[in-house]
Structure formats: structure tokens, C-alpha cells
Amino acid sequence: MDEESEDLGRRNHELSVLNAIARELNRSVDLGEALGFTLSRVAELLGLRTGWIWLVNENSSQFYLAASQNLPPALADEPHRMDGSGYCYCLDTYKKGDLAGAANVNVLTCSRLRGLVDGTGGLRYHASIPLYAGDEKLGVMNVASPDWRSLSPEDLQLLYTVGDLLSIAVERARLYARSTQLGAVEERNRLAREIHDTLAQGLTATTLQLESADALLDAGSTPERAREPLRRALSLTQSNLEEARRSVLDLRAAPLEGRSLSEALEILVGRWETETGIGAHYAAVNGARPLPPRVEVALYRICQEALANVARHTGAGQVDVRLVATPEQVRLVVEDDGRGFDASGVPGERHGLVGMNERADMLGGSLEVRSSPGAGTRVEVTVPLEKL
């Protein structure tokens, strides 16, 4: 009887956890938040301390790390080891279509920890749970523990139930993102109409005032008579400038249309290298990870400004640009080997620092500039993603 009660208690606990996961996945449209919650509940349910989730980028079909729980230092402190474009046995198996069905879930040696001794937290193995929407591949959930135990058929079925819930949540989040994107297109069309109805009309009125002033001067009128239409033209121009500033703040950077941030940065760096003749190298870790549009715009503009500073001020021969995305944050680094400067003695308004700082601050991020004479310059911006 005690054994039956214990089994019933365990099943009730499993159902309560599954119910909590289902509620959270149904409630949240923030995919990262929902995935993190799910990993923590799975860890609690099966006593598996560590886990992570790979998702497939819809546009590029590349894997990116979407969520993680208690990664060992060897993985947490070295983001390149968790780059979805690197070699991974379980992801390669999944891409080939060989990771399907609970019967085929094996405890695999983690290829990302192979050859490492320190910083692994005792981890060597993990179980992989594929995520599908029909025949469409969505990603893989990995769960691991230093004290690995065999997963019972009930455990495997439980993991697959969680996997099914996750798959539904991923599809729901993507549908929501698509609807938001359609809303953004509608908003851009609204802005286009608004620009036509405000800026275009304002510029027409300004032109008329300037033509009036020009005609008065041609007719030999006194400068005083021509000054009045010029004042009206100046007032209209100032109003139009404010309207333009308000409008462009709502527009996405054109180079990002149809591209991920990583793709746009790679093109930007390549074009900059051609234009300046300065050697430039671009690298990304988890560059396939989708980012909120305003984060992409801010980081793209910061990179543009940082590269412009390199060309104008540093006398550098080489520039390295790196983008590193994790489930928690995204980091952009622009580093050159130029002459450097005394960073403590440079006014804040110099080198476009005000604009770069403002962009980082608006996202709750931070901007750090490190430089000293003869030692080059490093611009690093970090933006947290968990609350965006």
C-alpha cells in the first residue's frame, strides 16, 4: 500500500509540474522566458541539474542557443562552445532525421565537453529530446546531470510530453512574431502616409516661402520684405526637422530589412574594409539567434559609429568585430590596434560616445570604452535580453 501511495504521489507531482509548464507556456509570449521556466521545472521533476535548448532559426536554418540552465563553467564561460554552428553530435543526428521517437533517445557523450577536465561540473552525458511541429524541425532539448541515471520509459515519455508542449509554444511564439511583423509593416505604411501628409506638405510650403523670397529679391524689393518669407521658411524647416526625428525613431534600420543582425554586421564590416583599406575581421557566436528589432537597430548603429571612429581617429591597421549572443545577453565588441587615447581624459561628447551610450542605456545595457595611448581601443556594449 505504501508503494502504491508513493507511486501515486509521484504521478501527482509529475502532473502538477506538467500543468505548471503548460500554464506558463500558454501564458507567456516571451519565448526565452518560457523556455527557461520549462528547463527549471524539468530539472526539478527529474533531478537533472543542467539543461539547454537549441532552436532552428526560421530564416537561416541555423541552430542557436535559446535557453540554458546551470551550464558548467567550461560552457558558461566560453560562449563559443555553445555556438549552434559548431560541431555537435546530437544536432548533426537530429538534422539527419535520426533523433525521433522516445525509443531512440540515448544518453550521449557531449561532444562539447569532450577532451575537457576542468570546469565541466562532472558532466559528460546528456539526453536529447527532439522538438517538432509536424514534420518541421524546431530544435532539440538537452538535459544532463553529473550523477547520470538510466531514464525509465515513464521518464522518457514525460520528457517527450514536455517536448510536445515546448514545440507548441515555439510555434505559438513564432506565429505571434509574424503577426507582430505584419503589424510593423502596417505601422510603416502608416508612417509613410503620415510622412506624406506632414513632411511632404511641410517641405512644399517651405519651398513656396523660399520662392517668394527669391521673387521679391529679383523684383528689387528691400531685404526687409524678403526677410518675412525667409523667417516663415525657417520656422517650417524647424517643424519639419522635429517631425522627421519623431518619425525615424520608429523606423527599422534599412540594412537590417530581410537580414539578421549578424548578416547585416558582416556586410557592414566587409564594405567598411573595402572603403577604408583597413583590415577588418568579423566573427559571431550564436549569430543565428533572433533578437528584438530595437536591439538589432541599436547594435548596428553603435557598430557603425565605432567603425567610423576607427577610420577617423585611430590610424589602425586591423579591426576585429565580434557579436556574442547567449540566452541572457548579447555583446558587441569593436576592437582596433590603433594609436589609442587616454580614455579618462576624453570629453563624453567626443567620438560619438553620447549617441552610443544613449542607445545602450535605452535598452538597459552598458557601453564600455577601453583605451590607452599606443594600445588600441576596445568598444564593448552589452545588452540584457531576459526582460526585453
- At residue 219 the predicted structure's pLDDT band, cuts being 50, 70 and 90, is confident
What is the tens place of the pLDDT at every residue in 253-265? Answer: 556 767 889 999 9
Q: Which domains does the chain have, with CATH numbers?
A: 2-179 (3.30.450.40), 254-384 (3.30.565.10)
Q: Which residues pair with 336 in a beta bridge?
A: 319, 377
Residue at 241: amino acid letter? L
| Confidence check: pLDDT of 280 > 70 | yes
How confident is the model at residue 105, as a pLDDT? 47
For the ranges 98-107, 215-224, 364-373, the lowest mean pLDDT is seen at 98-107
- pTM across the whole model: 0.68
- At residue 352 the predicted structure's pLDDT band, cuts being 50, 70 and 90, is low
What is the tens place of the pLDDT at every residue in 178-208? Answer: 766 665 566 566 556 555 555 666 676 677 7
Q: What is the CA radius of gyration of the chain?
A: 28
Overall average pLDDT of the 266-285 stretch: 91
- At residue 103 the predicted structure's pLDDT band, cuts being 50, 70 and 90, is very low
For the ranges 42-46, 81-85, 119-123, 348-352, the lowest mean pLDDT is seen at 348-352
Overall average pLDDT of the 279-303 stretch: 91
Q: Which residues pair with 126 in a beta bridge?
A: 108
What dihedral angle (degrees, nearest 10) is formed by the CA atoms of 115, 120, 126, 130? Answer: -90
Overall average pLDDT of the 218-241 stretch: 78
How confident is the model at residue 109, as a pLDDT? 67
